[in-house]
Amino acid sequence: MMHGPNRMKTTFLTTIILFFTVSAAVAQLTPPKREFRAAWVATVSNIDWPSSKSLSTTSQKAEVIAILDKHKASNINAILLQVRPSCDAFYQGGLEPLSEYLVGSQGGNLSLYYDPLKFWIDEAHKRGMELHAWFNPYRSVVASGSSVHSSHISKTKPEWNITYGASPYKFLNPGIPEVKEYVTKVIMDVVRRYDIDGVHFDDYFYPYGGTTNQDSATYAQYKGTFNNIGDWRRNNVNTFIAMVHDSIKAVKPWIKYGVSPFGIWKPGYPSGVSGMNAFTQIYCDPVNWMANKKVDYLTPQTYWVIGGGQDYSKLMPWWSDTIKVLANGRHLYTGNAVYRIQDSNWPATEIQNQIELNRILNRAQGFVAFSSKSVTNNLKGIQDSLRNNQFRYKSLPPTMPWLDNTVPNAPVNLAATVGAGGVTLQWQDPSAAADGDTASYFVVYRALSPDTVNINNPKLILAVTGNDTLRYTDAAAVNGASYQYLVTSADRLDNESAATAKISVTVTGVPDEPAAARTYSLSQNYPNPFNPVTTIEFSLGASGPVSVRVYDMLGRTVAVPAEGDFAAGTHRFTFNGSNLASGVYIYRIVAGTFVQSRKMVLQK
């Protein structure tokens, strides 16, 4: 096992040279059709959601919808939701008390009028997004300010907990066999009861604060044939990772299982990288997990810039090459520190460059941002950049053929009608495939005639819908244009069917300026035609989240001039089209249930 990583220390050099010599061209790379694009939604200390411990149920739900809508608009296709930050629960009826970060200090005594995890799952699936349940396996008490309920494991089983640091920062002891069994039982309760797409762990096994002699008695009792406490600790984690993997696959083999270890494996790997490491300091050996095929993906927390002592351009290729050799194609999704672009030594384009570097030679099959609000708060324009550049086309998560390689059947009876709202497509569910799978979601493709619609071209993905949706309205369709449409189905492991027969539509009779709702309106831009600046105005009957996007005639988003929460009333802003070619564009507002589109003409 050690030979593989050692042998690959220098295999990434060609890629690094390529990256730095063609950086201008890299920015123009077409985003791939297959890519895992995710954000961690952290609930510990109310980092991402909910925004406070005292939030009402209605407000909690509204925040969920706003988060998902913003990520959907950025073409993110998966959410990693922290459902167990510290031996607590963000779901109903579990084996542990409700989290203080959800219901306040009363914890398990308080009931909710909905199930938060089910709500997240349902809303994510409606948007064609995966939902992975993120667990902290061993952390039990976060800090001295934590409000721990009487039913919490730190109180019911104090002998299972060990304390680190000056404050009562507690972990369940990984060396106690009953602890591994207990945590696995908690996870499997969620696996059995919820329609999750994945189980995800972060890097909290043995703590970062350093383990000295807190578990010496446990080692003496359970060391078996181990003569080195470090080897014994790593084995405790290795056996736990394998236990969870085998338990999940025995019950729901389609659930993806991934871990996000610390970004440096061990000293000297790769050469030239220094700093804290997972192997000797927190007793994690993700190379072992991959070599034994006990995870489906790794998301190492490569939270550093390109260049320097923890060089991203060395670490990421090393992880990629190691996984490809040891694990026969299992996936690498990089963990990227979007929150750190506020640091003075982080260039504004650092995250964008890291994403593009991932794509050279398909080094990494995905990207996970920490954390959600760092993206949705648009730090240094990162959300705008993802929407307009790196993630400008929709993508599907990569397949996992070791779990399922059976292609589903295609939808049937695709039909189209033209109405005031645009072109409405309807289809019917496919029959079950050979393995019994039916459609988990549908992919709608569109080409502007006379081009041929092609499911291998990510530019032509118009929409990804949930499995309960058998229709889609193309509201950006305009009078006089001719389109070709087709639809595919995908199973829950993202295998995509063949396409329906294409259907051709020429749009006639669609009003250029549909009637607005009584208290909401999107005005015609002025001047129109324009070159290159025009004013766009909209009115809101109530405050709330608003998105205004500009599309070209292929339905691609070319700009997002307004995004965020707006007060009731009239708002106007200047749109600059200097970076666009002459032509007809559609601008569209989404404000709650109010949706309206208009045409504008750029003449240079």
Taking 80 as the threshold, does the pLDDT of residue 344 lie above it?
Answer: yes
- More confident call, 476 vs 38: 38
Tens of pLDDT, residue by residue over 470-509, are: 999 998 888 888 999 999 999 999 999 999 999 999 998 7
* Averaged confidence pLDDT in the chain: 89
Parallel, antiparallel or unpaired: strands 78-84 and 36-41? parallel
* Largest Cα span, the chain: 81
1-28, pLDDT tens digit by residue? 333 333 333 333 434 433 443 343 344 4
Q: For position 106, what pLDDT does the model report?
A: 57
Quick: pLDDT tens for 527-537.
888 888 888 98
pLDDT given for residue 8 in this prediction: 33
Q: What is the pLDDT of residue 319?
A: 98
CA dihedral 141→147→153→158, nearest 10 degrees, is 70
198-201/256-259 β-pairing: parallel
pTM of the model: 0.82
Token pair, residue 281, equals 């300091």
Q: Which residue has the higher pLDDT, 223 or 25?
A: 223
At 330, is the secondary structure helix, strand, or coil? coil
* Percent of the chain clearing pLDDT 70 (strictly above): 92
Q: Which of 54-58, 334-338, 464-468 has the lowest mean pLDDT?
A: 464-468
Q: Are 590 and 546 in contact (CB under 8 A)?
A: yes
Confidence of residue 452 (pLDDT cuts 50, 70, 90): confident
Q: Taking Cα atoms as reference points, which of 21, 64, 71 lies closest to residue 43?
A: 64
551 vs 378: CA distance, rounded Å: 20
The alpha-carbon radius of gyration of the chain (Å, integer) is 25
The three-state DSSP-derived secondary structure of 570-592 is EEEEEEECCCCCCEEEEEEEEEC
pLDDT in tens, 169-218: 899 999 999 999 999 999 999 999 999 999 999 988 898 877 889 999 99
Mean pLDDT of the region 91-102: 94
Q: Is 367 helix (H, G, I), strand (E, B) or coil?
A: strand
Find the mean pLDDT for residues 352-370: 96
Bond before 371 cis per omega within 30 degrees: yes
What is residue 159's DSSP assignment?
G
Surface-to-core class of residue 93, CB atoms within 10 Å of its CB (0-12 exposed, 13-18 middle, 19+ buried): exposed
pLDDT value of residue 135 = 98
- State which H helix or E strand residue 597 sits in: strand 594-602
Burial class (CB in 10 A: 0-12, 13-18, 19+), 117: buried
* Nearest residue to 207 (alpha-carbon basis) of 174, 179, 231: 174
Residues 335-339: what's their mean pLDDT?
98
Domains of the chain: 3-390 (3.20.20.80), 412-506 (2.60.40.10), 521-602 (2.60.40.1930)
* pLDDT recorded at residue 51: 96
C-alpha closest to that of 497 among 423, 418, 414:
414
pLDDT value at position 19? Answer: 41
Q: How many CA atoms lie within 13 A of 497 on its CB side?
A: 29
Q: Which of 211, 191, 192, 213 is nearest to 200 (CA)?
A: 191
Q: What is the pLDDT of residues 390-429, one digit of tens each?
A: 999 999 999 999 999 999 999 999 999 998 888 999 999 9
